[in-house]
C-alpha cells in the first residue's frame, strides 16, 4: 500500500494576545463577561504560555479559560486556575498565575480558533491575561 510523505509544519511567526477582565463571569456556558484573549492564525497556532496578573488588590479569584471554534458564538470552558488573595503594594512582588502550557506541552488551536478569559470575582482594577504562542 502506498503511503504519502509526512509533511512537517513549522511555526510561521510569533502571536500574542492580552485581555483585561473586570466583570465577574459566573456562567460557564456562554460568552457573558468573557474577554477575547488570543486568536489562532489561518493555519492554527500553538500556545506556549497563558498567565494572569492582578492590577489591584484582589481576593481569591477563579481564573477561567475558554475555547471558541466559531468567533465567540460558542464558548467551552477548558481550564481553571485560582489566583490567591493579594494586597497590591509598591514594596511587594505581584504573584503571577500560570496555566501551565509550555513549549513541550502547548495548547493547540485549530485555524482561527479563539481563546477567551474570564474571572469569577469582579475587580475594578482588572486582572490582565497574557498569552504567547506561534502561528503555524
Domain boundaries, the chain: 13-135
Distance CA 130, CA 52 (A): 6
- Is there a contact between 113 and 38 (Cβ–Cβ < 8 Å)? no
54 and 21 Cβ atoms separated by less than 8 Å: no
Phi first, then psi: give them for residue 55, nearest 5 degrees: -110, 10
Tens-place pLDDT, residues 43-54: 999 999 999 999
CATH number of 13-135: 2.60.120
What per-residue confidence (pLDDT) applies to 2?
A: 58
pTM: 0.90
Q: Is 117 exposed, middle or buried (0-12, 13-18, 19+ CB in 10 A)?
A: buried
Predicted local distance difference test score (pLDDT) of residue 74:
93
Amino acid at each position: 500500500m502506498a503511503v504519502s510523505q509526512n509533511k512537517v509544519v513549522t511555526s510561521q511567526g510569533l502571536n500574542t494576545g492580552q485581555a483585561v477582565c473586570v466583570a465577574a463571569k459566573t456562567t460557564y456556558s456562554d460568552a457573558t463577561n468573557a474577554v477575547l484573549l488570543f486568536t489562532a492564525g489561518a493555519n492554527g497556532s500553538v500556545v506556549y504560555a497563558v498567565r494572569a496578573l492582578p492590577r489591584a488588590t484582589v481576593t481569591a479569584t477563579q481564573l477561567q479559560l475558554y475555547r471558541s471554534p466559531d468567533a465567540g458564538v460558542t464558548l467551552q470552558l477548558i481550564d481553571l486556575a485560582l489566583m490567591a488573595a493579594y494586597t497590591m503594594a509598591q514594596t511587594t512582588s505581584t504573584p503571577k498565575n500560570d496555566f501551565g502550557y509550555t513549549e513541550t506541552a502547548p495548547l493547540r488551536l485549530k485555524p482561527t480558533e479563539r481563546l477567551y478569559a474570564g474571572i469569577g470575582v469582579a475587580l475594578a482594577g482588572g486582572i490582565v491575561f497574557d498569552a504567547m504562542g506561534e502561528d503555524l
